[in-house]
Amino acid sequence: MKDELDQQTGDLFARSGSAERQARLKARREAAGYRQTTIWLHGDSERIGYARGLVAAPLQQIPQEVVDVTSYTLGWLRGDQDRPASVSCASCRAEREKPVRAGDYYRALDGQPLQVWYCSEECAERFQW
């Protein structure tokens, strides 16, 4: 317990701003159906998965040297999402010059589009009609 005369030490049991934010995040995530847990990941298996996801190698062809399939799969998903991908205009189909990060435009595993891209304001307006 803190000495009542101590003017130097702060309230060590008070929640910091960061702890408050974390508590609010946790409440939001739980309300959305998530649960928080801790898992152990095997670094080499995760790195192998990441490298394979990055080049869109088939997820289910797991290399012999993979020790942990969960680590491999999580690595593969990250690699797949970081993979450079092309995206074309939703209106005129012109391809974007620079590749995008696949995870920003396509859902993992089935490649369903997450958002559309227009090459110009005109295309965006034309597509509304």
Looking at beta carbons only, is 77 or 90 nearer to Zn ion? Answer: 90
* Residue 101 contacts residue 85 (beta carbons within 8 Å): yes
Looking at beta carbons only, is 59 or 105 nearer to Zn ion? Answer: 105
Per DSSP, the three-state class of 104 is helix
For 101, which DSSP code? E
Structure tokens at 64: 């012999």
The least distance separating Zn ion from the CB of residue 114, rounded to whole angstroms, comes to 19
Neighbour tally for 47: CB within 10 Å: 14
Cα 102 from Cα 54, distance rounded (Å): 10
Cα 62 from Cα 71, distance rounded (Å): 11
Looking at beta carbons only, is 114 or 116 nearer to Zn ion? Answer: 116
Cα 80 from Cα 7, distance rounded (Å): 54
The least distance separating Zn ion from the CB of residue 100, rounded to whole angstroms, comes to 15
Looking at beta carbons only, is 92 or 109 nearer to Zn ion? Answer: 92
The least distance separating Zn ion from the CB of residue 103, rounded to whole angstroms, comes to 23
Which positions lie near Zn ion, rule CB under 5 A? 89, 91-92, 94, 119, 123
The least distance separating Zn ion from the CB of residue 97, rounded to whole angstroms, comes to 12
